[in-house]
Amino acid sequence: MKNIFKGSLRGFICEDCLESISDVEILLYHPYRKETVAANANLKETFRFVSKEEVKQREQLLITRKKTDENGNFEIELDERFVVGDYDIDFVCGTVPFKFPKPKRDEIIQFHLTSISMQSELEKQEKDQNYRWRYTIAHKWWCYIRGHFFDAWTICGHLMNCETNTPIANAEVIAMDADLLTDDTLGTATTDSHGHFRIDYSSADFKKTFLSPWFNIETDPSFLSFKSGPDVYFKAELGGTKLVKETKVNARKNVGYCLCVTLCSEVKVTDPGVSFPSAWAGIGSQFTASYGLGPNAFDAEGFAGLGKHVLHKTIRMTGQAALRSPLGNPIEYRFRVSEVTALNNTPPLDKDNFNIIVGKTDNSLFVPSTVSKLSRKVPVFYLDDIFVDSAQSDFDPEGWFDVNHAIERTLIANGLTLADLDLYNVIEEDTLISINTAELTNAPNVPDLFSAGQPIPAANDILIEKFAIRFEIREVIDKAANSFGIIGGDGKTLNSIVMNNNPIYRKLAIKELEESTLCSPIKGTINAKYTLYHPYLASGSLHLNNNSYTINRYISDGVIDSALLKRIKDNSPLNAPPNNNLTRCTYTLKLASSTRKHNGDVDDSDGSPALEQLFFYDENQP
């Protein structure tokens, strides 16, 4: 009967990142020291580096050596003489996964693992044919061996959803090193079904400079200290959707040979059949759909954020909505609008006030937008990523939106069937519905009747317009039988949102040109005339420069720089002392302005470009 000792050698990189140590030599020795290791000894405490001197001293004690296979396994056939007794087990590390170059040092890298009772191990194998003696090198030692001797650096991590803690598969993760000069890419990896990824790199990947490969060094952005490890931050995306967007500000400073991370993404990536909490969370990317003191919340009066913005143009209702309930029933949602409003710090308005429904065919409030994305679980380089855009046909007569219908319609449009949905993960695109606010507001614009410097009568003031918005969501149990279930988040309401779609009223002129002709040279004191008005005016400025920019200044006249919503003057001197230094040249006077209008994603561009008035100044003209 053959006596075969079966073993396996592995190493920890992280607690949940374990690798087989392949293609290394396992050495079996007679005991080097007379004392034996207790059966219950901590294997971590027996592990140690074996010096050259010790290797030489133990030459006569060596029984045999075997190489590990790709799984770190080995088998040693033993003569009957070696069945009874305690033996030392070492290993010689000539390489590490994944085949990094051998050390440049002209030395054998040998480590003592532990001592074992061979008879006890063989008895265990005889009782269980699947039993194998296993040794796992602690992460502290294994990372040191990999990095110190082989310049092998490793990142092991997971990519999860922040809220549900579910793994995100098939995403590309990019590890970056933050440098003073240029950030280096350490490597990329694709997450598996458990959201796990691994990136292997060497110091050459983070010591690059503009002189590489002739001169490499790690350039630490802090400038105050030099450390050998990289400063690591991450980016991740799936099907073109950004899941993780860290910058060098988020960098983990001077990491060691092994880095273990868990990244989380706010973006919802789920299997089509998975349910999760649904909610209306915000308007665009900048504002939360709630009242509060936070920098992105609405105040009691309905102004958004710290800048007291008002909403205009197309706004995105953002949040998340599952395709199906926990019971597997479809989910529908809708938005309703009320012209009756209340303070946001008071109880939600009664639902009967909300008689305007987004998506009903009798209004144009609905704007198509991307509400979801389908990303193939196993890419085939054809229809791997499909964008799902909302359409009017996805609403029922009462304005209930069915994202399942939108997905089915999109699959069919791409030559697929509903059954193919199982091949995809669903990526929530944050947008629930987009609303055209211009269909709600109706305050008339200031009529184009007033010249620069002419007052605007109070009768032409633009009045404030407020609206309330309510989010409703339901589980469809049996639509034909009018049977619906209640979903959390139903009834979420903002009592007041200020909206405005009126343009800035602005006029600009040079008084002396109006008194002559627009082409005549002018001299003496030059006066600007302007009218600037909007109920939510944020800024206004007058700027003067000549062609050579030797004159280049803002004009301050006590009106244009004030907080007034109507900024009107018919006699604003441009070259009054001490600025009476105009010389013979062509000049440009600009009236710039902006409002507090915002669509939830970007600031208002109203007032751009600035109004301009050219004039030629010549003090020596007749």
Architecture, CATH, for domain 505-617: Sandwich (2.60)
Q: Domain residue spans in the chain?
A: 3-148, 152-267, 279-451+458-499, 505-617
Q: Is the pLDDT of residue 44 over 70?
A: no
Q: Is 503 exposed, middle or buried (0-12, 13-18, 19+ CB in 10 A)?
A: middle
Same fold flag, 3-148 and 152-267: yes
Are 518 and 530 a contacting pair, CB within 8 Å? no
| Confidence bin at 41 (pLDDT 50/70/90) | very low
CA gap 465, 498 in Å, rounded:
6
DSSP code of residue 117 = E
* Mean pLDDT confidence for 57-86: 92
Architecture, CATH, for domain 152-267: Sandwich (2.60)
Length of the chain: 622
DSSP string, 245-279: E--GGGPBTT--SEEEEEEEESS-EE-TT-----E
DSSP, collapsed to helix, strand or coil, labels residue 512 as helix
Task: Return the closest-CA partner of residue 404 out of 391, 394, 417, 419.
Answer: 394
* Mean pLDDT confidence for 195-200: 94
Which amino acid does the sequence have at 496? Answer: S
CA gap 455, 511 in Å, rounded:
16
Q: Looking at residue 36, what is its pLDDT?
A: 43
Q: How far is CA 369 from the centre of its chain?
A: 20
Q: pLDDT for 377-432, tens place per residue? A: 888 889 999 999 999 999 999 999 999 999 999 999 999 999 999 999 898 888 99
The more confidently predicted of residues 470 and 168 is 470
Tell how strand 597-598 and strand 310-311 pair up: parallel
CA gap 356, 335 in Å, rounded:
9
CA gap 85, 65 in Å, rounded:
18
Percent of the chain scored above 70 by pLDDT?
92
Spell out the alpha helix ranges (H) of 258-384.
none
CA gap 303, 297 in Å, rounded:
9
* Yes or no: domain 3-148 corresponds to CATH 3.40.190.10: no
Non-local (6+) Cβ contacts of 214 within 8 A are none
CA gap 521, 617 in Å, rounded:
6
pTM value? 0.71
Q: Looking at residue 260, what is its pLDDT?
A: 93
Q: Is the pLDDT of residue 220 over 80?
A: no
Tokens matching residue 28: 């079996």
* Mean pLDDT confidence for 243-247: 93
* Residue 541 bridge partners (DSSP): 592
Q: pLDDT for 224-239, tens place per residue? A: 333 468 999 999 998 7
| Confidence bin at 98 (pLDDT 50/70/90) | low
CA gap 110, 49 in Å, rounded:
6
What is the b/e burial string over 391-406, where b = at least 16 CB atoms within 10 angstroms of the residue's CB?
eeebbeeebbbbbbbb
Q: Looking at residue 170, what is its pLDDT?
A: 85
Q: Is the pLDDT of residue 321 over 50?
A: yes
Are 503 and 439 a contacting pair, CB within 8 Å? no
In Å, what is the CA distance from 555 to each residue of 147, 567, 580, 617?
A: 63, 14, 12, 17
Q: Looking at residue 505, what is its pLDDT?
A: 96
* Mean pLDDT confidence for 436-448: 97
Q: pLDDT for 507-557, tens place per residue? A: 999 999 988 876 789 999 999 999 999 999 999 999 999 999 999 999 988
Q: Is 98 exposed, middle or buried (0-12, 13-18, 19+ CB in 10 A)?
A: exposed
* Mean pLDDT confidence for 19-28: 94
